[in-house]
């Protein structure tokens, strides 16, 4: 039996893909098709995949040419697969001519002719509607958004809003954005969706106004400082078929998504404890140290560590307590202890106290260690009592990481998808609820 293997993304499956699979099948008796995973595509900078991996696998299956379908999830897997499946022929499209000659050491390499005049890139360009996105705010995070958006198809940043028109104009000039405004209603009338990167206390007001104007919303963290406000906004978006997404960039990055998948698979057994810390030292005068602008370590840094805990342990905690060091009415250090029915968790946050900035997920079989800065996840290790079983995972964390949340946001709009498993609405509401408890000083101790 002659065994053939081929690989591809198979996004927007078209006749060219079908022809390639047919030609590969004709080379032998048994065809194995490797479909790239979502995380592998993102790791290679492919943020414009329209269909998720399950949809792409099903599309390949329906062609009838694949005898077996596998998932390609890491660099170097082709060599492993060729040996694992005792492959005789590696087949790939002719546009990769010469790129896979190194596989001749393991099997015969065949470059198959491509179907002229059709490609996923062409189909995507012909069918992809481009959404006009406006940015609310012109500060540090907003300045990162424009260059990050350029690596994602389907988005065009066309306008910026700031209460200070001079700041808006300077931002527009710097990033070649065509329009700027200090009039929010006027700004909304020119865009399809908005990205909110304004001060914390304005998030709810801007998000509500945008949703009421029929605009999709991507909102920076903290999404809101109240669970009630968060639920109200999500309920409105759901009722009016609008996308509302919290811009918790870590939640959408490939490495963190892999961590949550591994944990759910039971690789470290039952999770008993999660510890996550985040600190960035700041100097006055700055918004982070201004109580009137919702400054402080909790409001500034809690969303990401809380997100990691809630993604792993869920939203149904039993109790929570807070311990803070204050300076001029602002918490420069806060520790939160969260008790679950069968686990514990803690977050340690600082803007005037420095902490390690790592994350440790402890289980009954082993633990996962993510070094600082864990929220920019590019590496983590699964560790066991028997250190010979330890395994390291490396991922690419491209740019400033905003591209991952932007891609998810646009994907939700394009595919008419209103929920996101990477950060569910109930999880976002739970994060806002914990921050609200802190600000109300529930179970609070000053140290």
HEC letters along 64-132: CCCCEEEEECCCCHHHHHHHHCCCCEEEEEHHHCCCCHHHHHCCEEEEECCCCCCCHHHHHHHHCCCEE
**What are the strands of the beta sheet with 379-384, ordered from one edge?**
391-394, 379-384, 366-370, 359-363, 271-279, 344-350, 330-339, 319-327, 444-446
Rounded CA-CA distance 126/408 in Å is 20
Residue 416: per-residue pLDDT: 87
124-249: same fold as 3-121? Answer: yes
Please check whether residue 344 is in contact with residue 273, taking contact to mean a CB–CB distance below 8 angstroms.
yes
Which residue from 288, 349, 299, 358 is spatially nearest to 324, judged by alpha carbons? 349
pLDDT of residue 75: 75
**Whose CA is closest to 25, among 59, 55, 69, 57?**
69
- Which stretch of DSSP H or E encloses residue 412? helix 402-414
The pLDDT assigned to 414 comes to 86
φ, ψ for residue 370 (rounded to 5)?
-120, 110
The pTM assigned to this predicted structure is 0.79
Q: What is the mean pLDDT of each run of 10 residues along the chain (447 residues)?
A: 94 88 95 85 55 84 96 87 95 92 95 73 60 96 95 92 97 96 97 97 98 98 97 98 97 92 95 97 90 95 98 98 96 98 98 95 98 94 97 87 92 88 96 98 96
Q: Are 174 and 145 in contact (CB under 8 A)?
A: no
Q: Which fold would CATH assign to domain 251-446?
A: Dihydrodipicolinate Reductase; domain 2 (3.30.360)
Q: What is the pLDDT of residue 118?
A: 56
**Architecture label for domain 3-121:** 3-Layer(aba) Sandwich (3.40)
Cα 183 to Cα 53, 136, 187, 207, 402, distances in angstroms: 42, 11, 6, 15, 26
Spatial distance between the Cα atoms of 262 and 382, rounded to a whole number of angstroms: 9
Question: Domain limits of the chain?
Answer: 3-121, 124-249, 251-446
The domain made up of 124-249 is a member of CATH 3.40.50.720: yes
Nearest-angstrom CA–CA distance, 1 and 18: 23
Burial 126-135 (b: 16+ CB within 10 A, else e): eebeebbbbb
List phi, psi (to 5°) of 201: -70, -10
- Give the whole-angstrom CA distance, residue 338 versus residue 317: 7
**Cross-strand pairs, 325:** 333
CA distance 90 to 94: 12
Can you give the pLDDT at residue 39?
65
Q: What is the pLDDT of residue 55?
A: 83
- Structure tokens belonging to residue 63: 């062609």
Q: What is the DSSP string of 318-343?
A: SEEEEEEEEETTEEEEEEEEEE-SS-
H helix or E strand, kind and range, residue 157: strand 155-161
pLDDT at residue 262, rounded to an integer: 93
pLDDT, residue 357, reads 95
Count other C-beta atoms under 10 Å from residue 354's C-beta. 12
CA pair distance 54, 37, nearest whole angstrom: 9
Using CA atoms, how far apart are residues 274 and 258, in angstroms rounded to an integer? 16
79: left (phi over 0), alpha (psi -120 to 50) or beta: alpha
Distance CA 421, CA 423 (A): 5
């Amino acid at each position: 039996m002659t065994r053939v293997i081929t690989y591809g993304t198979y996004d927007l499956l078209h006749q060219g893909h079908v022809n390639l699979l047919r030609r590969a099948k004709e080379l032998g008796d048994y065809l194995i098709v490797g479909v790239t995973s979502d995380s592998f595509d993102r790791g290679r900078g492919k943020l414009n995949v329209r269909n998720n991996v399950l949809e792409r696998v099903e599309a390949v299956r329906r062609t009838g040419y694949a005898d077996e379908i596998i998932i390609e999830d890491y660099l170097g897997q082709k060599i492993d697969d060729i040996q694992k499946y005792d492959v005789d022929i590696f087949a790939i499209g002719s546009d990769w001519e010469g790129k896979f000659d190194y596989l001749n050491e393991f099997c015969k390499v065949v470059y198959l002719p491509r179907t002229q005049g059709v490609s996923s890139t062409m189909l995507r360009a012909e069918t992809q509607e481009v959404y006009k996105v406006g940015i609310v705010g012109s500060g540090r995070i907003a300045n990162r958004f424009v260059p990050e958006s350029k690596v994602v198809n389907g988005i065009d940043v066309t306008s910026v809003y700031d209460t200070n028109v001079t700041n808006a104009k300077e931002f527009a000039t710097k990033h070649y954005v065509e329009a700027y405004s200090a009039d929010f209603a006027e700004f909304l009338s020119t865009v399809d969706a908005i990205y909110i990167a304004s001060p914390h206390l304005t998030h709810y007001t801007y998000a509500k106004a945008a949703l009421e104007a029929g605009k999709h919303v991507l909102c920076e963290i903290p999404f809101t400082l109240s669970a009630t406000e968060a639920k109200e906004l999500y309920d409105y978006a759901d009722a009016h078929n609008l996308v509302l997404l919290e811009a918790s960039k870590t939640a959408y990055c490939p490495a963190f998504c892999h961590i949550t998948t591994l944990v759910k698979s039971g690789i470290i057994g039952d999770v008993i404890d999660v510890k996550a810390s985040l600190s960035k030292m700041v100097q006055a005068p700055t918004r982070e140290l201004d109580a009137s602008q919702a400054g402080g370590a909790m409001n500034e840094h809690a969303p990401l560590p809380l997100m990691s805990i809630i993604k792993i342990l869920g939203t149904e905690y039993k109790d929570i307590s807070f311990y803070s060091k204050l300076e001029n009415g602002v918490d420069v250090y806060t520790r939160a202890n969260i008790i679950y029915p069968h686990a514990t968790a803690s977050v340690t946050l600082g803007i005037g106290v420095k902490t390690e900035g790592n994350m440790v997920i402890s289980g009954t079989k082993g633990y996962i260690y993510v070094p600082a800065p864990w929220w920019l996840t590019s590496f983590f290790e699964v560790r066991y009592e028997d250190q010979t079983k330890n395994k390291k995972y490396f991922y690419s964390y491209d740019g400033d990481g905003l591209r991952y949340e932007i891609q998810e946001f646009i994907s939700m709009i394009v595919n008419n998808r209103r929920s996101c498993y990477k950060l569910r609405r109930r999880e976002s509401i739970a994060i806002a609820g914990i921050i609200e408890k802190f600000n109300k000083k529930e179970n609070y101790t000053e140290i």
